[in-house]
Amino acid sequence: MITEKPNAAKRIADALNEKGTPVKHEEHGVTYYDVVRNGERIRVVPAIGHLYSVAQEGKGWTYPIFQTKWVPSYIANKQSRNTENFIRVISKLSRDAKNFISATDFDIEGSQIAYCVLKYACGELSLTRAQRMKFSTLTNRDIIEGFNSLLPTLDWELIEAGRTRHEIDWIYGINLSRAMILSLKKVSGMYKALSTGRVQGPTLAFIAEREKKIRSFVPKPFWIINAVAIIDGKKYSLEYFQKKIWIKKEAEKVINECNNKVGVVSQIQTRKTLHKPPVPLDIGTLQSEAYTYFRFTPSRTLRIAEQLYLDALISYPRSGSQKFPPSIDLHAILKSLSNIEEYSQMARELLSKEKLVPTQGKKEDSAHPPIHPTGNSPEKKLKEDNRKIFDLVVRRFLAVFGDPSIRESLKIEITVNGHLFHLRGSRILAQGWQKYYSPYIRSEETILPQLKEGQKIELDSIELVDKYTTAPPRYNPKSVLMLMENQHIGTKATRAEIIDTLYSRGYITGERIFMTPLGFSVINLLSKYCPKVLSVELTRELEQEMEEIETNKRTRQEVIIDAVEKLTPILKELKLKEKIIGQGLSEALASLRREKSTIGMCPICKEGSLTITHSKKTRKRFIGCSNYWTKKCSFSVPIPQEGDIETTGENCQYCGFPIVRIRRPRKKPWNMCINWQNCPRGKNKVQ
């Protein structure tokens, strides 16, 4: 039995073994298990994610390259060295196996992982003797049920779709990226890891378009009227019916005609609104909510959710579903949650309802249900970040069973010398589902006094306020993720990774996303000389074709041939423009280096600039004053040698030195006062 990760292997082995604990073995650092079930010995062996990767057929660092092959990941990528022992152990153990079971995650990636392991590590014959195990949680119940209901063959539709996606993504990514890297190298002799692809390009183009709108935006003046009324001794804000007045004289006229006048209540409108419970969580919604409430990036949320899944606390997170299938025992999950102190009272309230009917969304995923808690209690105290995501998942699950919340809105029209003002209030009549989803719901109340039509209202003040229109908001990781989902580019499993890649390549920076000179250069050059690379329609078309493989409407060969035919003219165009593209990239990189190395003015000498530089002896980087080399200023400080360093535009409140952000791959970004050695807050303390 092949599992996707070591944690999953242990949980599956523990669940399936009929007596006692499974027999544990370790070989070359790989732990596997022998279990006995129904009188048969089953060897449960883990992979560690993808053990095989797509690579180039033949040698030569050039493009175009269309011939691919699958090779062990440690050959394709030096950072995957730990996969070698897993392949070696699996290959050895498979020789005595009579049958094989794919027990990886039931999705495209999981099916692809198991297929490659069986085909290349266990031999082609294993594919004909393999069955598929399907489960959505790593609870004992789901594991045993999945084992008792093995699919007779591998899930070939998902496998074919997975192979196609990996091969097409590799063909597009390697060719387009090499085109840029080689263009730069031919012009400047410099190597720089650059990349683009069928999803990365359009995503970056969206961000660039927003950046252009922001930079070209010209603010326009407008005026608003703020009025304050006194009712029963308390002050209340009034809204002028016209929220924006574009001509100042018109606004001044309203002020003059209403000043020192008494208002009259002309109409009272009351409306009750029912707010339905939220739909169950899919991965995109979970990532969005986690960013809103915790500021977790999409990739960070996914990593935490995957860990909670491996701990058997939540269901499989890479789900696109918002509908619970009948096979999920929702009553049993709520009953289990009632044994967890924090959720006990809420779960019991829901269990006491006559009917337990969850709200359902529109999205459906045939492979997995929405993300939900399993009902299991954490076996040990969760890390703070993991606890937050677990709490969010549990409370969202509880909320979908709640009653609608009811809000009463009150709009009172007040006429002042012929001019209409509004006094607005609202209150919650029934909390409904909101009490279960608290604190992940923002709801304010404004309670108004009892008023009657014809009642006179005294104005305390009325004033004119100058305003200017604002530029469109900058994207953040959450809004980019939602944009990709709405545009149907990328998959629920890859979108977060694409955003991380744009950061790591230096194309974008900051939580409120800014385009760097390099990012703009890539977009400008590609849009000018090869616009098809950035085409959303092309990407969406390929996505649709790959999805059709899963339903047997298209074959893998058809889709790959079509993808290559679309890519070939693009690469020919890039070949012709190599010199121009290389020159543009070279200039952008020089500008980016200057921008990234400058931190700000030196607070010590107040003349030089604080810059990131490298020691002539050790080549280690540090931050020092530009007057350091001329001995006019002695300030210098060591900094982390790994990761990108970004300016934040903020200064330390304790010492006044700039604060920088350290961004490292697959790790949480953190802020640091560059004067950390002498900052009054304390030595070695970070902001």
* Catalytic residue check, 316: yes
Q: Which amino acid makes up residue 126?
A: S
- The interaxial angle of helices 156-188 and 536-550, nearest 10 deg, is 150
Q: Between the CA atoms of 349, 354, 357 and 359, what dihedral angle is there, to the nearest 10 degrees?
A: -60
Length of the chain: 687
**Is the CA virtual torsion 484, 488, 492, 493 positive or negative?**
negative
- Measured CA to CA, the distance from residue 283 to residue 372 in angstroms comes to 11
Determine contact, residues 85/29, Cβ cutoff 8 Å: yes
b (16+ CB within 10 A) / e for 591-600:
ebeeebbebb
Q: What angle do CA 409, 412, 416 make, to 5 degrees?
A: 160
Nearest to 204 by CA among 175, 231, 162, 176: 176
Q: What are phi and psi of 32, to 5 degrees?
A: -135, 170
Residue of 120, 236, 316, 628 with catalytic role = 316
Tell me: cis bond preceding 219? Omega within 30 of 0 counts.
no
- Measured CA to CA, the distance from residue 683 to residue 660 in angstroms comes to 17
Q: What are phi and psi of 138, to 5 degrees?
A: -100, 35
Which residues, other chains included, contact 151 with Cβ-Cβ below 8 Å and sequence gap of 6+? 131, 132, 133, 134
The residues facing 36 across adjacent strands are 41
| Tokens coding 527 | 């849009």
Q: Where are the alpha helices (DSSP H) in 189-282?
A: 200-216, 248-258
Pairing of strands 636-638, 621-625: antiparallel
Structure letter (DSSP) for residue 390: H
- Measured CA to CA, the distance from residue 579 to residue 641 in angstroms comes to 34
Q: Where are the alpha helices (DSSP H) in 352-413?
A: 384-399
- Measured CA to CA, the distance from residue 291 to residue 332 in angstroms comes to 30
- Measured CA to CA, the distance from residue 473 to residue 578 in angstroms comes to 35
- Measured CA to CA, the distance from residue 21 to residue 40 in angstroms comes to 15
Nearest to 227 by CA among 218, 215, 236: 236
Nearest to 309 by CA among 376, 240, 405: 376
Task: Count how many Cα atoms sit within 13 Å of the Cα of residue 455 in the half-sphere of its side chain.
Answer: 15
Pairing of strands 419-430, 670-673: unpaired
The residues facing 54 across adjacent strands are 70
Nearest to 451 by CA among 587, 620, 269: 269
Determine contact, residues 475/207, Cβ cutoff 8 Å: yes
Q: Which residues belong to the active site? A: 316
